[in-house]
Amino acid sequence: MKKPEIPEDGVNRVTIEVEDGYSAAERLDVLVTTRLPKISRSRVKRLISDQAVLLNGAPAKASAIVPPGSVVEVTFPHPPRPPAGPEDIPLDVLYEDEDILVVNKPAGMVVHPAAGHDSGTLVNALLGRYQNLPTSRGPTHRPGIVHRLDKDTTGVMVVARNENAMTILGKVFHDHDIEREYIALAWGDFLKDRGTINAPIARHIGDRKRFAVHESGKQAVTHWKVLERFGFVTMLALRLETGRTHQIRVHLEHKGHPVFGDNTYGGRMHGLARLTSRQRELGRNLLADLTRQALHARLLSFIHPGTSERVCFSSELPSDMQHVVDQLRGSIPI
């Protein structure tokens, strides 16, 4: 039985083909450990838990039995990146004390260094502002970071300034003991004024950079409420019970109402062909002006790690989203 080779840099994907005549009924974690003897079973279990191991194209549990003829794909994470360096980057500070910093993150700013984004991140800006920030546990260097917003999502973020604040805020976010409200512009009109999307989210089977609703995923709950209707676009307020990656964007796409302008989840050209000629022209013009998904983290409320009192921070719609809203309002006959 030929054992697949693990790439030297530990970054690539390894494919394990289970022969049709293979008779042993092995668990997924046992089979991967057997075929890839250079990695430990505990690491294999972590990879499976992180949904980096696909069984016949879908995430599976470590205890899943692998039938003959199966294909198992193992994706190894990138090696740890070198520590980020300080940079003189201005920040829109909403609040600051000895425990926390609250900022209004702009569109286009990545939260921490990653492939293709070695500088200009929020972490670089924080290191340029503070000398001693606590570092989150894990393989990456993320000083002060306890939660994230997507690169092109704007809005309120809190940063921990000391170890105590990081520990407490980390637990707060882990336990979902926070209030988060987002404003989104979504394609289409909604039949109801409010509702809840309860659908598990996992990595997309065909594209590891995307996520999708899948029964094997982690529970994800999003509450939404219509704020304003513009015919072919609706402004929503959304509150999260869970904090899955791309949660709002994935849930709205799943319901057929992708976030306006979202190139990753079908929000650039969605439904244009079904609009009137006037709406289609307006939609195209607005998409030309808006170069990102129309999603803004408007409100963040949590227990302050220093005072143990609940605090609440909010920010107004950024100018690009406000421009879209103003144009949509102006297009509706009075």
Active site residues: 150
- Structural tokens at position 265: 């989840």
Q: For residue 308, how many other CB atoms are within 10 A of its CB? A: 8
Helix and strand numbers (H, E) in the chain are 7, 15
Strand, helix or coil at 301? Answer: strand
Amino acid at 146: V
Distance CA 132, CA 225 (A): 41
- Structural tokens at position 11: 């970054």
The number of residues making up the chain comes to 334
Which residues touch 35 (CB under 8 Å, ≥6 apart)?
Answer: 1, 3, 4, 16, 72
Distance CA 48, CA 61 (A): 7
Distance CA 278, CA 328 (A): 12
Which residues touch 322 (CB under 8 Å, ≥6 apart)?
Answer: 316
Q: Give the end-to-end CA distance of the chain in Å, rounded to a whole number.
A: 74
